[in-house]
């Protein structure tokens, strides 16, 4: 994924707003970031603050036709081949959590950003920033896990780099991975391609990763059996694209959760979305943890789920394609793309009423009461 | 979560809504006090479900919203001190003071931490004896017992580097202020169930007697709120004014005695300024002299800054139930959760923010 990576020492790769550049000015406050402002944790949350950084800092300096697409991956041509390139940094804390660790996450996250572009992942790089004093055994565990994840996925790590910084200059261990893949012939996926009438599909239960991470956080001990869903999704994408090619857009709803991803797609495609609350798969344990912590599962990070926007006529084929794969067995149609309320995601509640599912300004914050 | 599902059952909710619509002979004006209740009403679209049968207005019950600007500024001043770690509930960090907020102070190097429980702050003080740990203690009667317990706990352990920046507010004096206003149009109240879990129902009896207004203690789930609204409508239609308890699974008439005792040991009632409303007599809690050693206001030299709310903001009228958030000319344009003009837009539980977050699609339709 280009440019903005995760800043908060929290979860995972980060979906930044990927609206077309022409829309960015309309996204939020029209004023440029004032001089003297500082980076806040919210600038890494994948919400509106992240979009401001893109608009005010990165695109003016670095913009070019490929970068300006602001997809999860850049698609470039090399001879007859179309290559997908993506990069992502991983700063998750704690390093090890139920269902994964920073090493496997760094492999899965980058593979997933390639897969969401319809690409078959080919190669990965891995760069490490290590804090002075980090136990060698910790590094060994992380690297072993990376190796296992890459081998399982069949995507080798072919180059790397290591830097060590003074104690206090980094929080034990950060990893950057870059990936290169080949886009399948005839496949063209983009957040700007959603059309009224399309259906919205998720590949399984939402919020598992974010809750598994929160459960391990200092000061937040609560008992849960929730396991991170961290997984490489490229074979699931292959199964989906085998079932139908009428897929408009694929995204993995990582930081900022489903709501941020859908708001981005709605913005890029200039369409509205209507979700059906009762059809959104969320585990009982995740709902319970969210209740306790004052969070909304739609904003909680996932690391092994995808959202697909699919033409209505191919919705059942896509659903069957996903459900036939172990990582997609709980896939569900959760809503549809509408002409009404463009750029707005609206949810139909079990009471038959409607409410907005908004993009967050920054991180979701626990409430007082 | 079976325990919650029953209170979110759409069949029961629709049944209650139908009964309310049927029983109501005029659009009774009802107010829920607590921001958590406002949040539920908006999230589930209960206003949409009830149509014209009742008019819901939203009270001043979001502690984040009503914490005065100068208190936020004091927290910010503390967080900027090199020797202080300021510990807070998460949603206080985004609340703008007169110049900045705690997130920005954190980015500038201030030591600001988020916890879920004040006892975590006491724990932090024990583990970092060289730091001065200040807990930003805001909230209604609900959070006061936990804050009192933290002080008593710190005292018992001999922890000397822990203090509270306390800014508690009390619900009954706020209701009294609302009812005493010549412009009052609220005809019935949903009292906050969690507050009554702590303090009981006695104080609400006084209000009912004095103002002849029905008050129903309500919970926080959609079915709770619909049931509370139905009970209020029944009272109004039958010409009764009583305290009734919908939230029986949590609230007892006498409240929680040990929690009340802890609060009475540590705190005393004081006058308090409410952001957006102004000063209300005997509407807050402060630390007793005996616990001055745990009172950040007395331990640190905190300069008071008087800040003016922007003139366009109608938060006082919103918080008093005179106007709806959508009556404001700045709503959703010059005032959004990212750039709030006033109190009810700052926290997700503020009435303006709840409308913005969940309901503005209907506003834009209504406005064409």
Residues of A in contact with B121 (CB under 8 A): none
Contact B83, B131 (CB under 8 A): yes
Beta carbons of A356 and B361 less than 8 Å apart = yes
Determine if residue B23 is left, alpha or beta; phi over 0 gives left, psi from -120 to 50 gives alpha, anything else beta: alpha
The domain locations on chain A are 199-356
| Per-residue pLDDT, A37 | 83
Tell whether the model's pLDDT for residue B156 goes beyond 60: yes
Calculate mean pLDDT across residues B87-111: 88
- With cut-offs at 50, 70 and 90, classify the pLDDT of residue B305: low
Nearest CB partner across the interface for A349, out of B1, B45, B361: B45
What is the pLDDT averaged over residues A221-240?
A: 90
Could you please state the CATH topology (level 3) that the domain comprising A199-356 is classified under.
Phosphoribosyl-aminoimidazole Synthetase; Chain A, domain 2 (3.90.650)
**Which pLDDT score is estimated for B318?**
87
Q: What is the pLDDT of residue A225?
A: 79
In chain A, residues with a C-beta closer than 8 Å to the C-beta of B367 are none
Pairs of CB atoms within 8 A across A/B: 110
pLDDT at A2: 43
| pLDDT score at A266 | 97
Of the pLDDT bands very low, low, confident and very high (cuts 50, 70, 90), residue B56 is very high
Average confidence (pLDDT) over B102-109: 92
Do B110 and B207 lie in one domain? The reply is yes
Kindly tell me if the per-residue pLDDT of B90 is higher than 90.
Answer: no
**Rg over CA atoms, chain B:** 21
Structure tokens belonging to residue A244: 């139908």
Whole-number pLDDT of residue A366: 61
* pLDDT tens-place string over residues B19-47: 999 999 999 999 999 988 998 999 999 99
B350, pLDDT greater than 60: yes
pLDDT classification of B338: cutoffs 50, 70, 90: confident
Q: What was the pLDDT predicted at B367? A: 47
Question: Does B326 lie in the same domain as B225?
Answer: no
Residues B119 and B72 placed together within one structural domain of the fold: yes
Strand order in the sheet with A157-165: A74-78, A81-90, A173-183, A119-131, A157-165
| Closest CA–CA distance from residue A344 to any residue of chain B (Å) | 8
Taking residues B42-56, what's their average pLDDT? 93
Residue A22 has pLDDT above 80, yes or no: no
pLDDT at position A264: 93
pLDDT class of B322 with cuts at 50, 70, 90: confident
pLDDT band at A324; cut points 50, 70, 90: very high
In chain B, pLDDT over 90 holds for what percent of residues?
70
State residue A5's pLDDT score: 38
Of the two residues A233 and A223, the one the predictor is more confident about is: A233
Residue A342 DSSP symbol: T
Chain B residues touching A288 at Cβ < 8 A:
1
Q: Do A352 and B115 touch (CB under 8 A)?
A: no
Q: How confident is the model at residue B50 (pLDDT cuts 50, 70, 90)?
A: very high
Interface pTM (ipTM) of the complex? 0.78
- The SS3 of residue B306 is coil
Task: For residues A334 and A332, give the distance between their C-alpha atoms in angstroms, rounded to a whole number.
Answer: 6
> Is the CB of B1 inside 8 Å of chain A's CB atoms?
yes
Window 89-148 of B: residues touching A by CB (8 A cutoff) are: 89-94, 103-104, 106-108, 114-116, 120, 138-140, 142-143
Same domain, B108 and B36: yes
DSSP A360: P
More confident residue, A262 or A44: A262
Q: Which of A220, A351, A368 sits opposite B49 (nearest CB)?
A: A351
Which residues contact residue B267 at a Cβ distance below 8 angstroms, ignoring those fewer than 6 apart? B144, B148, B166, B168, B285, B286, B287, B288
Q: What is the DSSP letter of B284?
A: E
Per-residue model confidence (pLDDT) at position A367: 61
pLDDT over threshold 50, residue A6: no
- Distance (Å, rounded) from C-alpha B235 to C-alpha B249? 21
B155 and B284 housed in the same domain: yes
Overall average pLDDT of the A224-234 stretch? 92
- Please provide the average confidence, as pLDDT, over all residues in chain A: 88
Together in a domain, B74 and B145: yes
pLDDT at A218 over 60: no
Question: Do B8 and A350 count as a contact with CB atoms less than 8 A apart?
Answer: yes
Question: Helices (H) and strands (E) in chain A — how many of each?
Answer: 10, 14
Query: Which residue, chain included where needed, has tokens 């172990």?
Result: A326
pTM of the model: 0.84
pLDDT category of residue B68 using cuts at 50, 70 and 90: confident
| pLDDT at residue number A342 | 95
Could you tell me if B118 and B247 lie in one domain?
A: yes
Instruction: Give the mean model confidence (pLDDT) for residues A90-101.
Output: 93
Q: What is the pLDDT of residues A27-37, one digit of tens each?
A: 333 344 555 68
Of B310, B328, B358, the one marking the end of a domain is: B310
Task: Give the Cα-Cα-Cα angle A73, A336, A193 (nearest 5 degrees).
Answer: 35
The domain of B334 spans 315-366
The CA distance from A254 to the nearest CA of chain B, in Å, is 21
**Nearest chain A alpha carbon to B339:** A29
Q: Which of A46, A94, A77, A72 is nearest to A300 (CA)?
A: A46
- pLDDT for position B49: 93
Residue A30 with chain B: CB contacts under 8 Å: none
Q: What tokens were used for B38?
A: 């406002």
Q: Test A355 with B140 for CB contact under 8 angstroms.
A: no
Place of tokens 């339709």: B365
Number of domains in chain B: 2
Please say if the pLDDT value at position A8 is more than 70: no
Residues B213 and B336 in one domain: no
Q: B361 and B289, same structural domain?
A: no
DSSP codes, A172-213:
SEEEEEEEEEEEPTT----TT---TT-EEEE-S-SSHHHHHH
Q: Same domain for B220 and B152?
A: yes
Classify residue B36 by burial, with Cβ atoms within 10 Å: 0-12, 13-18, 19+.
buried
| In the predicted structure, residue A14 carries a pLDDT above the cut 60 | no
Q: Is the pLDDT of residue A24 over 60?
A: no
Beta strands A199-202 and A307-310, pairing class: antiparallel
Residue B47: Cβ within 10 Å count: 17
How many Å apart are CA B223 and CA B227, to the nearest integer?
6
Whether A351 and B115 lie within 8 Å, measured CB to CB: no
Confidence of residue A13 (pLDDT cuts 50, 70, 90): very low
Q: Edge-to-edge strand order for the sheet containing B243-245?
A: B54-61, B28-34, B188-192, B215-218, B243-245
Is A212 a residue whose pLDDT tops 50?
yes
Regarding whether B159 and B138 lie in a shared domain, the answer is yes
Q: B107 and A38 in contact by Cβ < 8 A? A: yes
Find the CATH number of the domain harbouring B176. Answer: 3.40.50.11740
pLDDT of the residue at A32: 47
pLDDT at B244 over 50: yes
- Residues B229, B84: one domain? yes
């Amino acid at each position: 994924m280009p440019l903005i990576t995760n800043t908060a020492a929290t979860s995972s790769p980060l979906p930044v707003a990927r609206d077309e550049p022409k829309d960015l000015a309309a996204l939020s406050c029209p004023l440029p970031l004032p001089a003297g402002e500082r980076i806040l944790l919210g600038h890494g949350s994948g919400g509106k603050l992240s979009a401001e950084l893109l608009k005010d800092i990165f695109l003016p300096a670095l913009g070019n036709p490929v970068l300006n697409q602001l997809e999860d991956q850049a698609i470039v041509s090399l001879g007859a081949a179309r290559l997908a390139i993506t990069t992502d940094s991983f700063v998750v804390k704690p390093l090890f959590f139920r269902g994964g660790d920073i090493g496997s996450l760094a492999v899965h996250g980058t593979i997933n950003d390639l897969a969401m572009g319809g690409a078959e992942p080919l190669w990965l790089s891995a760069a490490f920033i290590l804090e002075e004093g980090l136990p060698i055994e910790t590094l060994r565990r992380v690297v072993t896990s990376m190796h296992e994840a890459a081998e399982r996925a069949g995507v080798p790590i072919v180059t790397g780099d290591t830097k060590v910084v003074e104690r206090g200059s980094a929080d034990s261990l950060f990893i950057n991975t870059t990936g290169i893949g080949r886009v399948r012939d005839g496949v063209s996926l983009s957040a700007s391609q959603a059309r009224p009438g399309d259906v919205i599909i998720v590949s399984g239960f939402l919020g598992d990763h974010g809750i598994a991470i929160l459960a391990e956080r200092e000061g937040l001990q609560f008992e849960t059996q929730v396991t991170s869903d961290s997984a490489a999704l490229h074979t699931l994408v292959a199964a989906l694209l085998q079932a139908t090619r009428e897929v408009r857009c694929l995204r993995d709803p990582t930081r900022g959760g489903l709501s941020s991803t859908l708001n981005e797609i709605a913005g890029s495609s200039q369409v509205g979305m209507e979700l059906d609350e009762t059809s959104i798969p969320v585990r009982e344990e995740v709902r319970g943890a969210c209740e306790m912590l004052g969070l909304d599962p739609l904003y909680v990070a996932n690391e092994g789920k995808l959202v697909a926007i699919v033409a209505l006529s191919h919705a059942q084929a896509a659903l069957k394609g996903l459900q036939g794969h172990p990582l997609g067995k709980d896939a569900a149609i959760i809503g549809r793309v509408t002409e009404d309320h463009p750029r707005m995601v609206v949810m139909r509640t079990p009471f038959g009423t409607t409410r907005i599912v908004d993009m967050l300004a920054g991180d979701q914050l626990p409430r007082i009461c | 979560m079976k325990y919650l599902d029953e209170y979110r059952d759409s069949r029961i909710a629709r049944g209650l809504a139908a009964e309310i619509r049927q029983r109501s002979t005029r659009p009774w004006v009802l107010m829920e006090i607590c921001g958590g209740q406002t949040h539920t009403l908006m999230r589930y679209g209960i206003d949409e479900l009830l149509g014209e049968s009742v008019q819901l207005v939203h009270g001043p019950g979001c502690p984040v919203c009503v914490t005065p600007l100068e208190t936020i500024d004091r927290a910010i001043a503390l967080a900027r001190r090199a020797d202080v770690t300021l510990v807070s509930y998460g949603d206080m960090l985004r609340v703008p003071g007169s110049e900045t907020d705690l997130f920005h102070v954190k980015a500038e190097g201030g030591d600001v931490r988020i916890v879920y429980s004040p006892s975590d702050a006491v724990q932090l003080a024990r583990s970092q004896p060289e730091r001065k740990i200040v807990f930003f203690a805001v909230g209604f009667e609900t959070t006061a017992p936990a804050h009192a317990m933290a002080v008593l706990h710190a005292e018992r352990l001999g922890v000397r580097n822990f203090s509270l920046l306390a800014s508690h507010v009390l619900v009954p004096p706020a209701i009294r202020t609302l009812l005493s206003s010549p412009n009052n149009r609220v005809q019935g109240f949903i009292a906050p169930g969690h507050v009554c879990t702590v303090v009981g129902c006695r104080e609400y009896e006084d209000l009912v007697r004095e103002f002849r207004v029905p008050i129903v203690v309500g919970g926080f789930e959609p079915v709770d709120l619909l049931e509370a609204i139905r009970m209020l409508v029944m009272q109004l239609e039958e010409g009764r004014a009583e305290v009734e308890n919908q939230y029986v699974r949590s609230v007892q008439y006498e409240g929680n005695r040990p929690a009340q005792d802890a609060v009475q040991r540590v705190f005393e009632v004081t006058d308090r300024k409410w952001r957006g409303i102004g000063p209300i007599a005997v509407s807050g809690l402060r630390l007793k002299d005996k616990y001055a050693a745990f009172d950040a206001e007395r331990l640190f030299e905190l300069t008071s800054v008087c800040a003016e709310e922007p003139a366009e903001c109608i938060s006082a009228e919103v918080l008093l139930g005179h106007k709806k958030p959508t009556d404001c000319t700045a709503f959703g344009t010059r005032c959004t959760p990212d750039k709030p003009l006033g109190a009810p837009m700052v926290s997700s539980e503020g009435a303006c923010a709840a409308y913005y977050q969940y309901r503005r699609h209907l506003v834009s339709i209504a406005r064409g």
